[in-house]
Amino acid sequence: MSKPRKPKGRAISGWLVLDKPVDFGSTEAVGKIKWLFNAQKAGHAGTLDPLASGMLPIALGDATKTVPYVMDGRKIYEFTVSWGEERTSDDLEGEVTQTSDKRPTEEEILALLPNYTGVISQVPPQFSAIKIAGERAYDLARDGETVEIPSREVEIHRLTLLKAEQDRAFFEVECGKGTYVRSLARDFGRDLGCYGHISGLRRTFVAPFAEEAMVPLAELVALEEIEDRDERLAALDAFLMETSEALSALPQIRISDDQAHRIRMGNPIILRGRDAPVDEPEAVALAGGKLVAIGEIGQGEFRPKRVFA
């Protein structure tokens, strides 16, 4: 009987809030970070198109278990819409399908924005990761197929016009999970009768990570020049945030090392005292500031659902 294969890389855990450059895919960025940190596992919370820059939270090791909590968080984008052309991909990469000489006024744009605030119905772009009959829409689009993608409800919390020029306008949007900014540009253009597409896109916020936490990829790559491996990895690790940072919106309980041991064995623990939390469907257990588990609180107990090393 063969022995199980030992995972390659270091068993490190934490979040890196990457400032992804333009012309660099999200999967490519994750692969680069995994290699730089020599990590066993890596994943990201929310794809950014190659033409988009900005915040790409990357989870290493056990932090990959917390990716869904970041995926569900609010996001903020700054984006530029160029008027006069609609494109197959709704951004600069696609072929032009419609043109117009009309240009919207600032007043027309401002009058449109309330229609795109709140819960709205949105059709994702043809070039998107939506699955149609088991295939990705972007694969079908690359093969020249035009498919009917069903609309979906998304939530726009805030939509602001930052500046309007004759041929383009600059916006900021705060939105919920599943929103396609490229679809906003396409639909703005159609409603205004001038057509439009994304010509600039930057993500500045993914809850709960702040813009100030972003680390430029070039700054990390520059550390490759450090010849001593341990010194290089220590310099990289200094950029990692605790795994628990992704769960800051959940109620937290502080536990002892003995309680942490019980939880890691898969056992519930009793919560005593006047300040013991009431029932919670999801809560975080921390020991010495380190994440131990995500679980539920009920009937005076914390019951672990997902345990961290």
Which residues are annotated as catalytic? 49
Which residues touch 74 (CB under 8 Å, ≥6 apart)?
157, 174, 175, 176, 205, 206, 207
* Separation of alpha carbons 295 and 282, rounded Å: 5
For residue 299, what are the CA distances in angstroms to 38, 258, 275, 277, 304? Answer: 43, 21, 14, 10, 14
Residue 113: strand, helix, or coil: helix
Burial of residue 129, with CB atoms counted within 10 A of its CB: 0-12 exposed, 13-18 middle, 19 or more buried: exposed
Q: How far apart are CA 77 and CA 273, in angstroms?
A: 44
Whether residue 268 is preceded by a cis peptide bond, meaning omega within 30 degrees of 0, is no
Question: Could you tell me how far CA 72 lies from the centroid of its own chain?
Answer: 8
Side-chain half-sphere exposure of 226, counting CA atoms within 13 A: 15
d(CA 89, CA 164): 23
Compute CA distances 210 → 54, 55, 138, 151, whole Å.
12, 9, 31, 31
Q: Which two tokens stand for residue 292?
A: 């131990």
Which residues, 6 or more positions from 275, have their beta carbon under 8 angstroms from its beta carbon? none
Phi, psi of 124 (to 5 degrees): -60, 160
